[in-house]
Structure 1
Amino acid sequence: MTYVPAHGSAAGRTTRGPRLVELDVLRFIAAFAVMSFHFMAASKSLWDDYPTALFSSVNRVTTLGILGVELFFLISGFVILMSAWGHSLGDFVVSRVSRLYPAYWFVVIALFVMYTFVGVKGFDPKLSLRDYLVNMTMLQGGTGIGHAGAVFWSLWVELRFYILVGLFTLVGITLRRCLGFMAAWLILVVLAEGTHNDVLTFLFMPRQAPYFIAGMAFYLIYRFGSTLVLWTFVGVSYGLCLLAATERIKGRVDMIGFAHYPAPPEGAIIAITLIFLLIAAVALGWLRWLRWRALTTLGALTYPLYLIHQNVSAVLIPGLKDSIGRWPLVGLTMATSIAVAYLIYRLVDRPGQRWLRAALGASLDRIRLRDGVSATPPPAPVAGATTQTKEASVP
């Protein structure tokens, strides 16, 4: 593992190198888990029956697919710290905005058309034009307006994490400061859980923060090597994640009953443990053998897949469930979701990212020049250094 000094923005600057393909694989696994959950465990309104009864042979697994989002959060902690390291707030904002918004804007517009003019009923958010316009900002979660897509709730969580990391970049990210940042966040998480204070809960996200913090710790292990302090952060976060995950699963079970949502607490514990082991394997370099080029594309289309898969099922399942078998229909819905996501990635997301990144980058450079600050060139490549491209965000 190449050691990169943590002190000073120049010395600690993120370097470019081979893409971490193993994270692409894990991102797709997370998206597939969420897709399986929605199609085979959570869409009674589409099937007119409990999906866990229709797919009883796999319901102990598909019910846990809900925790695919938690895997996304862990990956995000790893990747976002890697993306922010050695960069200014402006560079970080350009990176995140250009990554998140092109595909998201397209999907919000598509959902508006689908539910306003096509007459699709499944998962209709019943929003006004004004509400859809607010959704275009991705800030609807803080305004009390509903999400245009049911999965958008996690983007609001991600956005708040990005804001915290963005503020962190203002003081300069170093190893020592990371440890302080993570320790302070964990203390605030415990305080928010103990007091149930709404402001602390909103700002510091006690049920999601342990995943982000663990992901950050895993990145520091990946970058600087194993230390007792970093593994302690992982261990404490793991315990908090077990608590959050078991309560999240219990909430589902309490809502519809174990017979219709057969997910025992030990299932959640096994799933979270497996998720942590997978990210640990990335941090320790055990998955470096994953270098197949196609996996990069698979990871890149994960974001649009996450955004649209549930709405694809709203079109296909009600219309075809009486015509073809449920297993072929699930396979068709998954294949269609992946195909649509690939088209969005190639035709909208990838060119949209390039355009928005260039436009925002040019604007940032003009602001710097007016302030008398010369635009900084991208860091030079370092042999053996690894990184993740700007497409490697979550979900």
Structure 2
Amino acid sequence: MTGAAPRETPREGGRLAELDLLRFTAALAVLAFHYFIAFASVWGERPAELFPAIATISGLGILGVELFFMISGFVILMSVWGRGLGAFALSRLVRLFPAYWVSVAVTAVVYGLTAATALDPKLTLGEYGVNLTMLQRAFGVYDANGVYWSLWVELRFYLLISILVIVGVTFARCLVFMGVWLLAAGFFAGSEQAWVDLVIMPKYAAYFVGGMAFFLMTRFGPRLVLWCLAGISGGLAVSAALERVAGRVDRVGYAAMPVPGWAVVATVVGFYVLMAMVALGWLRWLRWRGLVVLGALTYPLYLFHTAAAVVIVPALRDTLPPPLTALVTVLAAMAFSYLVYRVAERPLQELVRARRRRGTPVPAEVSGASEASARREAPGQALSAFPLATGEKASVP
């Protein structure tokens, strides 16, 4: 297996536009969960009672972060293939931090200079400074924004995959890495030990491994061993999702989050089906250029939709009907996200491209326009996204 040869892909040097679409869909799912289920203090009452027709599907948006993790497993393995640790680290720094720093600053301004109180983590200036490192959870500091918890998960995934980068990424080593991680995640499932959650991440490991398996199918073909890894990870993923959603429902009540177990299973299985379709090339017909823009919006939208809701919804909820208030808030969040992309992210990307044109060596993945890039020069923002708080308290995943 060490000598497994990659198959020819029809879009070598092209884009996986379908991943742009999936990433944007995951971001909208997270937004829907927050706006129409979780943000009771923003609306002043239960969102599920304000939007009963979409309560169940919005509740399933809690799993949008799981889709982000699957996509991250796919694109991060793609980005490290044939590259060194330094290039990988630089690419993650460039992709994750510019918009993130703006997000921390905006959150601090919203709670420090406005009358906004909903979802306020009540941090000191120093704690906001710690948040700038993205390592606040390692220091026992609350997240300034509830969605930041998933970035901590992403960072730990990057550290784990760095081991693979150090020893050298090959097909066989990927299989060993994925198999050992899945075995550990299954063995320690349900463990309350802090080190297990920190290192093995049994609640989320299956999603990353599933995404990696589907990338390997894209590169080497749909081999039986990869289907087996995907299937095992899918079983663990369903179990973890049922536990996470059930925990949320138990805390807030079924009326506040009317999500049945069968819908959770169907959603996670749907994620795996969609990623399999990407790996098998069944979604190559997606060619709309606007998907590139949606891909660019994804990470900023994930980071800024909470601040938009905290500021806009309380200002409009007593004047406009709930659906119109929600629509205005969503559009404003998307507009601001695009502005952040143009001002904070795109200039850095153009700077990197300029350095490449001048002949300065730069990791190829740093210059990609979005994480959906199918170039072997790699993806854009990792999901980071991705992605989502399961409750209103900023520090609770």
TM-score > 0.5 by shorter chain: yes
Partner SS state of residue 222, structure 2: coil
Instruction: Tell me which residue corresponds to 1:172.
Output: 168
- Of 87, 90, 99, 1:94 maps to 90
Per the alignment, do residues 377 and 345 of structure 1 end up closer, same or farther by CA in structure 2, a change over 3 Å counting? closer
Check the 8 A contact 1:89/1:167 in 2, yes or no: no
Check the 8 A contact 1:24/1:299 in 2, yes or no: yes
Q: Does 1:18 align with 2:17?
A: no
Instruction: Tell me which residue corresponds to 1:371.
Output: none
Partner SS state of residue 288, structure 1: coil
Instruction: Tell me which residue corresponds to 2:48.
Output: 52
Instruction: Tell me which residue corresponds to 2:294.
Output: 298
For residue 192 of structure 1, report the CA deviation from its aligned partner: 2.2
For residue 312 of structure 1, report the CA deviation from its aligned partner: 0.3
Partner SS state of residue 123, structure 1: coil
Provide, for residues 167-220 of structure 1, a one-character-per-residue CA deviation record: whole Å limited to 9, x for no partner: 210111000000000011112212322654321221010001100000000000
Q: What percent identity do the matched residue pairs reach?
A: 46
TM-score (norm 1): 0.88
Per the alignment, do residues 54 and 175 of structure 1 end up closer, same or farther by CA in structure 2, a change over 3 Å counting? same
**Aligned equivalents of 1:267 and 1:303: distance in 2?**
26
Check the 8 A contact 2:364/2:377 in 1, yes or no: no
**Aligned equivalents of 1:325 and 1:19: distance in 2?**
41
**Aligned equivalents of 1:56 and 1:184: distance in 2?**
43
**Aligned equivalents of 1:228 and 1:191: distance in 2?**
23
- Of 77, 81, 97, 2:73 maps to 77
Which aligned pairs between 1:128-167 and structure 2 lie closer than 5 A? 128-167=124-163
**Aligned equivalents of 2:177 and 2:270: distance in 1?**
26
Provide, for residues 352-388 of structure 1, a one-character-per-residue CA deviation record: whole Å limited to 9, x for no partner: 34557989x9xxx8xxxxxxxxx69869xxxxx8547
Aligned residue pairs: how many?
370
After superposition, the CA RMSD in angstroms is 2.5
Per the alignment, do residues 324 and 387 of structure 1 end up closer, same or farther by CA in structure 2, a change over 3 Å counting? farther
**Aligned equivalents of 2:163 and 2:225: distance in 1?**
24
Per the alignment, do residues 145 and 27 of structure 1 end up closer, same or farther by CA in structure 2, a change over 3 Å counting? same
**Aligned equivalents of 2:162 and 2:259: distance in 1?**
37
Check the 8 A contact 1:79/1:388 in 2, yes or no: no
Instruction: Tell me which residue corresponds to 1:36.
Output: 32
Instruction: Tell me which residue corresponds to 1:393.
Output: 382
**Aligned equivalents of 1:198 and 1:25: distance in 2?**
35
Check the 8 A contact 1:123/1:311 in 2, yes or no: no
**Aligned equivalents of 2:276 and 2:27: distance in 1?**
19
Q: Does 1:319 align with 2:315?
A: yes
Partner SS state of residue 170, structure 1: helix
Which aligned pairs between 1:243-392 and structure 2 lie closer than 5 A? 243-355=239-351, 386-387=375-376, 389-392=378-381
Check the 8 A contact 2:5/2:220 in 1, yes or no: no
- Letter matched to residue 98 of structure 1: V
Q: Does 1:228 align with 2:224?
A: yes
For residue 66 of structure 1, report the CA deviation from its aligned partner: 0.6
Partner SS state of residue 193, structure 1: coil
Per the alignment, do residues 195 and 154 of structure 1 end up closer, same or farther by CA in structure 2, a change over 3 Å counting? closer
Check the 8 A contact 2:30/2:62 in 1, yes or no: yes
**Aligned equivalents of 2:247 and 2:199: distance in 1?**
23
Per the alignment, do residues 29 and 79 of structure 1 end up closer, same or farther by CA in structure 2, a change over 3 Å counting? same
Provide, for residues 111-157 of structure 1, a one-character-per-residue CA deviation record: whole Å limited to 9, x for no partner: 11221122321221111111111111000111110001110000000
**Aligned equivalents of 1:58 and 1:388: distance in 2?**
40
- Letter matched to residue 268 of structure 1: V
Partner SS state of residue 257, structure 2: coil
Per the alignment, do residues 254 and 358 of structure 1 end up closer, same or farther by CA in structure 2, a change over 3 Å counting? farther
- Letter matched to residue 200 of structure 2: F
Partner SS state of residue 38, structure 2: coil
Check the 8 A contact 1:46/1:318 in 2, yes or no: yes
- Of 115, 118, 121, 1:119 maps to 115
**Aligned equivalents of 1:22 and 1:334: distance in 2?**
22
For residue 391 of structure 1, report the CA deviation from its aligned partner: 1.9
**Aligned equivalents of 1:79 and 1:191: distance in 2?**
27
Per the alignment, do residues 378 and 348 of structure 1 end up closer, same or farther by CA in structure 2, a change over 3 Å counting? closer
**Aligned equivalents of 1:106 and 1:276: distance in 2?**
33
Moved more, 158-167 or 207-216: 158-167
Per the alignment, do residues 326 and 194 of structure 1 end up closer, same or farther by CA in structure 2, a change over 3 Å counting? closer
Check the 8 A contact 1:305/1:341 in 2, yes or no: yes
**Aligned equivalents of 2:376 and 2:287: distance in 1?**
14
- Letter matched to residue 391 of structure 1: G
Instruction: Tell me which residue corresponds to 2:238.
Output: 242
For residue 16 of structure 1, report the CA deviation from its aligned partner: 5.9
Per the alignment, do residues 356 and 17 of structure 1 end up closer, same or farther by CA in structure 2, a change over 3 Å counting? closer
